[in-house]
Chains A and B, each alone.
Chain A
Amino acid sequence: MAQKGIREYDAKRMLARAIGEYSGGRFAFDDRLVLVTPETDFGRLEKDHPWLRTERLVVKPDQLFGKRGKNNLLLLDADLEAAVAWIAERMGKEVTIEGARGKTTGVLTHFLIEPFVPHDAEYYLAFTSSRDADTIHFSPQGGVDIESVWDTVVSIDVPVLADPAKVEVLSKLPNVPDKETVAAFVQALYRIYVDYHFTYLEFNPIAFSRGRLLPLDTVAKLDDTAAFQCADKWGPIEFPRPFGRPMTKEEAYVETLDAKTGASLKLTLLNPDGRVWLLVAGGGASVIYADTVVDLGFGGELANYGEYSGDPSTELTYEYTKTLLDLMTRRPDPHGRPKYLLIGGGIANFTDVAKTFTGIIQALEEYKDKLRKNHVKIYVRRGGPNYKEGLENMRRLGERIGVPLEVYGPETHMTRIVSLALEEAQR
């Protein structure tokens, strides 16, 4: 899905490998980096990386979130024993991070260890992309919340069609010591940014010490669709999930189903006690169904977000539906109120509706007792090739399993079943 965050470890490893080539040998980065995971064997670590013993160290979590200093998740100037102890204390622990977009809770699993480098000045350097241009941002004031000193930031736009090698940086930089070196360095980094298909690269701060720039805190995103061009440049790379709640067993199961096929199967559990459950075909339609539940004031009752699309096989649709029904029918609403299953979708382009309903119908049939016990009401809306047969099969299913089930076709507005269900729920 295009822009994907990568670990600071991977970003620094990649840049350390590239900077020599892109600066004609003029610059080099320290490539002494270690990523500690739950599998890491500390005994081996010291053997493989003897510098851990001889250097002072910096340790921080490496899980795609920033503001680690503010969140007390940064260890500076430590020796190996202290670093190992610090990690051991935090590994596998749940923490809540205060970030730019509010609070996020997740489990710590990855830590980066690097040599601690005393330095003089801290700058801010970032590369961003927009439709018409890339922008190089530089400020002599780094290591702070950059928004608070944004007036010190110099921005250099590089139009999309411009030659990255001919970007004029020097004349645009503010006055800093050794300005020519800084400019040459920024230029080399920008060329890496372009060639490696970064979509975002931020150093806050990047230190300046003895004529050299050293990236301290690095945030990077790559365009993962460029993998076919960049596999060699990137080397082995992982695109971790954003920091946050770990996947539930059911979400992980749906992810394995999704990985098995060219079709798409997605499930995010929002509120297992919610009474509105979505089983919607199509990426675009699924968002709109969820929107409508929220917009009609039932966001708190929305149990899940998910979609199936791209013509999944009957077996996969069956497995997906079963997973959803299992979650939905674990326990009846404590107040005995009905639950609502919305089997929705727009008008399919080419997908055979009757065929995709086969797996759903199988699963519903299997769960008929639980559905009745949980007072589930089902609303169906779908159109597209062979929809009449599909809808008729659903109608007959409702009669067969004794679960209230209403069926609508393309003559009814796509999200009408949302308002029908929610009106019912309010009564």
Chain B
Amino acid sequence: MRADYELFTAETQAFIYGEQLRAAQRMLDFDYLCRRAKPSVAALITPERGGFEKLFWGTKEIRIPRVRSLTEAAAHFPEADVLVNFASQRSAYDVTVEALEIPTIRTIAVIAEGIPERQSRRMAALAKAKGKWIIGPATVGGVKAGCFKIGNAAGTMENIREAKLFRPGSVGFVSVSGGLSNEAYNIVARATDGLNEGIAIGGDAYPGSTLLDHLLRFEKNPAIKLLVCLGEVGGTKEYEIAEAVKAGRITKPLVMWVSGTCAKVLPGQVQFGHAGARADSAAETADAKNAALREAGVIVPDSFDDYGLRIKETYERLVKAGTIVPAAEVTPPNIPLDYAQARAEGLVRRPTNFISTICDERGDIHNYCGVPIDRVIEEKYGIGGVIGLLWFKKDIPPYAREFIDIVLQIIADHGPAVSGAHNTIVAARAGKDLISSLVSGILTIGPRFGGAVNGAAEHFLYGLRNGLSPRQFVDEMKKRNVRIQGIGHRLHSLENPDARVELMKAFARKHFRKTPLLDYALAVEQVTTQKKGNLILNVDGCIGVLLVDLLTELRFSDEEIDEMIRAGLFNAFFVLGRSIGLIGHYFDQVRLDQDLYRHPLDDILYDVPKAPEKVG
């Protein structure tokens, strides 16, 4: 059974309120270092999420439940009697009041800074009325050596190891400041057999529990033999300590210092870091408080510089008198370094599983192939320029960006009857969502639909690079029984040209220095159209050859261009451009609220045998 003066034991279980996984992990690491039997975190209270969280217990991972409300958590884990309340300044009060109403919760550490004083005073009064403890607000918490640690108290595992907090010593320490608690634990560890318990009450004007409250608790605890306290300018609570010493309510030796003696040389009313650290009257000055404590019999050093010495002397006196039997040294288990920390310190390395060479989203502003996104916008890269960066990894000139823009605009749609749009429309009418309908259309893009861009580039390049005359090229393809990709149109002919093709040709002639592959393809067209008037260079073919001409002009090597063809990069223009149209068809159908499509039966030839052929 836990005594009244013990807030924490090696069995203490706590709830953590708020999304504070690092604090939870630090508590578990501390538990492990102390060789606790069970983790000190019973559950995380996270109103947004239930389920569980995986955290480390030494090298192993364990599951810590996530619960959406404090009341629910308390019902599930009645043995947990501590709440580490990480709720924000705005909600910390409500969470604390809720916790005070729950019978199984006895101690609440309130971490948030900037809680209104009226709320802090109410929390303190409510806790007092219910015989419960509040540590904070505006505190890092505290630590019970070898037993339990509140949230982020005591800093890194290295600090905890250095200050030997993994096993209890004889000193009870309480301070206002949490920032200095590590320093104090270090002083205590060097001067004595170590800390038994350390609490930072927080720097606000109205902490839920006071320096005196904790000193009286330490006074009752037989394991604590020496009291050490660090007060602050502002308020008058230190006088109560002097009174308690005089009245014999504190009998154990107390070494104490009140900081802020420099206030007398500072101009006017200097507010130190803590809300409570401000002297409103002579009685609240550090000098007056140190004098009163000294007079009451408290061991007060002449300056902070002697603080460690006074603690050491007092400790040695107690050992000599036999009051303290120095705590035995123990060796704590190792806690593996977290990977992130070890990597930061250059202690580990591992091969990566992924590589990205086109963009980097880390840092202040993400970049496309090294160009920060704000520059992309300011310098008007446009879709064409962005494709240059992300597809080709090149900063392409404005005319190339414009050409890509033209290609995409031309490709964007080709009516509802083509297979891609048709599929999208059928899927949309079947009630499928945007992605399903779009994908249904895109999936038809391939060798027969839209795939000709890539194929045309490949075919004409083959002819040109191998020095085949247009006639030889046509003959060879015919001999191999291969249809030349990018040749042929349903309607258009040399006499009735496709406006889209003419547009691209005109742009290229105006802006490209040379167009060797286009010229070759047009020579081939002269041959094919002799055979049949509509065997012209079509849109796909024109895009394919002009993209090759563009890339050649931008000084891409033959190998690079071949690689792009192999990867299907030229078809990517079709996929990207046509997606615009497919999405349009999807929205069109949704807006029109079109019903499920069913193909008319008279449009299907039914030719089913009477009975299947039997085999085997």
Contacts and interface: CB of A to CB of B under 8 A. Distances in A.
Contacts of B12: none
A413 B187 contact: yes
Interface string B89-108: 11000000000000000000
A291 B155 contact: no
A286 B272 CA distance: 9
A384 B182 contact: yes
Contacts of A129: 117-118, 121
Contacts of B159: 347, 349, 384-385
B273 A307 contact: yes
B303 A160 contact: no
Contacts of B270: 268, 305
Contact of A283 (B177, B186, B286): B177
A268 B182 contact: no
A223 B118 contact: yes
B347 to A, nearest CB: 12
B116 A229 contact: yes
A291 B262 contact: yes
Contacts of B268: 104, 242-245
A285 B264 contact: no
Interface stretch (B122-130, B373-381, B567-575): B122-130
A383 B116 contact: no
Interface residues of A, number: 64
B59 interface: no
Given A3-B117, A299-B265, A385 B179 contact: no
B180 interface: yes
Interface stretch (A87-95, A138-146, A367-375, A415-423): A415-423
A371 B232 CA distance: 34
A131 B267 contact: no
Contacts of A356: none
A33 to B, nearest CB: 26
Contacts of A350: 152, 155-156
Query: Which residue, of B89, B303, B308, has the highest number of chain A Cβ atoms within 10 A?
Result: B303
Given A2-B205, A288-B304, A349-B159, A225 B115 contact: yes
Given A160-B125, A284-B179, A197 B265 contact: no
Contacts of B305: 292, 295-296, 413, 415-416, 418-419
Interface string A258-295: 00000010101010000000000011111110111111
Given A305-B270, A349-B155, A385-B156, A270 B265 contact: yes
Given A264-B273, A285-B180, A161 B129 contact: yes
Contact of A284 (B177, B286, B302): B177
A299 B259 contact: no
A164 B129 CA distance: 19
A225 B117 contact: yes
Contacts, number: 182
Given A291-B303, A292-B303, A347-B182, A245 B262 contact: no
A348 B181 CA distance: 9
Contacts of A266: 273
B272 A242 contact: no
B210 to A, nearest CB: 8
A349 B262 contact: no
Interface string A231-246: 0000000000011110
B121 A160 contact: yes
A126 B404 CA distance: 77
Contacts of B180: 282, 284-285, 288, 346
Nearest to A100: B281
B53 interface: no
A383 B89 contact: no
B117 A302 contact: no
Interface string A92-132: 00000000010010000000000000000000000001011
A194 interface: yes
Interface residues of B, number: 63
Interface string B415-453: 000000000000000000000000000000000000000
Contacts of B278: 3
B114 A225 contact: yes
B304 A414 contact: yes
A2 B273 CA distance: 11
A291 B276 CA distance: 17
A349 B267 contact: no
Contacts of B251: none
Contacts of A160: 121-122, 124-125
A225 B118 CA distance: 10
B269 interface: yes
A120 B581 CA distance: 86
B264 A348 contact: no
Given A291-B303, A294-B265, A296-B303, A285 B183 contact: yes
A191 to B, nearest CB: 13
Nearest to B162: A410
A104 B269 CA distance: 10
B186 A349 contact: no
Interface of B: 89-90, 114-118, 121-122, 124-126, 129, 140, 152, 154-156, 158-159, 162, 176-177, 179-180, 182-183, 186-187, 190, 203-206, 232-233, 259-262, 264-278, 286, 302-305, 307-308, 345
A-B pairs, 10 with minimum CB distance: A283-B273, A346-B183, A295-B303, A284-B177, A290-B262, A2-B275, A349-B155, A226-B116, A284-B180, A244-B268
30 contacts: A1-B275, A3-B205, A159-B125, A160-B124, A160-B125, A161-B122, A194-B118, A197-B117, A242-B268, A242-B269, A245-B267, A270-B267, A284-B180, A285-B180, A288-B180, A288-B304, A291-B260, A291-B303, A293-B262, A302-B262, A346-B180, A346-B183, A347-B155, A350-B155, A350-B156, A385-B159, A413-B305, A413-B307, A413-B308, A418-B305
